[in-house]
Amino acid sequence: LKARVGIVGAGPAGLMLSHLLAQAGIESIVVEKRDYHTIRTTHRAGILEHGSVRMLTEGGVSNRVLTDGHRHDGIDLRFGGASHRIDFQDLVGESVWLYPQNEVFVDLAAARERDSGDVRWAVSDTEVLDLSSDTPKIRFTDAEGAVFEVHCDILVGADGSQGICRRAIPAGQRRENFIEYPFAWFGILTEAPPSAPELIYTNSGRGFALISQRSQTIQRMYFQADPDENPDDWSEEQIWDELQRRVDGPDGFELKRGPIFEKTLLKFRSYVCEPLRYGKMFLAGDAGHTVPPTGAKGLNLALADVQVLFEAVESLYATGKTNLLDGYSERALARVWRAQNFSYWMTSMLHTRADASPFERKRALGELAGVVASRHGSAYLAEAYTGWPATTSK
């Protein structure tokens, strides 16, 4: 098989890149080890920055985010038992959209199908070869057991944090930056009406909780938990009581309860691989970096990488010049590090380590109080949460 661009991974990053390339007349082949249904039903985050929404709508993928998603003009920061609204529209004139990543995936896969894109699902034994040659290759076995090799000009690793592409970079050619956190998120999906009009991020004496949403009838909530907690050990009542305790306050705020139909534990860390390139292979999205979930930057960052990478590949075929491709890693990483800082900041400000001293607990509350009392502090949060322009340079 031959393609100008070979893409490993048909998550949002790989599919969006393939879509943008197709629109520019550059053909690509995408290979993915999971089947469509598995990705479709894997629960991920639910918040899209305005720039991500624009990529989907103005990029010709789908307008469904505008009809089926919900615009959110702010969030609530809750601490000391009281809620403080961060008004994105007032502070920075932007919004985010509540639209689950599964739906982004459905829209992108449908757009590839509609435009006769070449996406191979459920492949196995994927290998990337000859990365520093002029013709990097993807070898894989398809769902029927036939072995193929994709010969391409450019190979893109969009295969997530557990993928093969990053690991194919020789150890001496990449720097790995990471930190781990001593907690995880216990996530649930429940059949209940929304408890509040907007998302609530809360720092309570018992740790963090996030009251998010999916629709008028399905809600998504998370609470900080021990990394080796087993969700099956928790009854519905225990989960609801724990969530409620974390939002309790003198205002009498009460969560609207319902049956819980999904429980998962999310472990998280901060990670950046540098550079996002080895020879003719370029990394995009979680394949190159991971953020903790607080602030929902993962998918948005992946799409921002793809925008930058697309422009670089398009420029290569339009001009024959590699300067944008050569600058991809640096340009993408400038945004990645901003988002790393934002996600780390939100995480550390809102979570409580089990061994935190009274000083550390109160310092975090002082930080939150400072953010909500300051228009400048709130505006930084609003700007970062709703998303920086894709073209952000250093």
> Catalytic residues, which ones?
72, 201, 293, 297, 385
Residues in the chain: 394
Please identify which residue in 29, 131, 296, 301 interacts with ligand DHB, judged by CB under 6 A.
296
Do the beta carbons of residue 353 and residue 362 sit within 8 Å? no
Strand 70-72 to strand 96-98: parallel, antiparallel, or no bridges (unpaired)?
antiparallel
Q: What's the min distance (Å) between Cβ of 340 and ligand DHB?
A: 15
CB of 222 to ligand DHB, least distance (A): 7
Q: Kindly give, in sequence order, each residue whose CB lies less than 8 Å from that of residue 335, ignoring residues fewer than 6 positions away.
A: 301, 304, 305, 308, 388, 390, 392
In this complex, which beta carbon is closest to ligand DHB, that of residue 126 or of residue 294?
294
**Contact pattern for ligand DHB over residues 205 through 244, marking x by CB under 6 A:** -----x-x-------x------------------------
Cβ closer to ligand DHB: 83 or 294? 294
Q: What is the CA radius of gyration of the chain?
A: 21
Query: Strand (E) positions, the chain?
Result: 2-8, 28-31, 47-48, 70-72, 74-79, 82-87, 96-98, 118-120, 124-129, 137-141, 147-157, 175-191, 200-204, 207-213, 218-225, 260-274, 277-278, 281-283, 289-290
| 293 near ligand DHB (CB under 6 A) | yes
- Closest CB 314 distance from ligand DHB, rounded Å: 31
14 is an interface residue for ligand DHB by CB under 6 A: no
Contact status: 46 vs ligand DHB (CB under 6 A): yes
- Which stretch, 134-142, 227-235, 246-254, 287-295, contacts ligand DHB (CB under 6 A)? 287-295
**Binds ligand DHB by CB under 6 A, chosen from 294, 329, 347, 378:** 294
DSSP string, 15-28: HHHHHHHHHTT--E
CA 266 to chain centre: 13
Contact flag: residue 74 with ligand DHB (CB under 6 A): no
User: Which residues here bind ligand DHB, judged by CB under 6 A?
Assistant: 45-47, 199, 210, 212, 220, 293-296
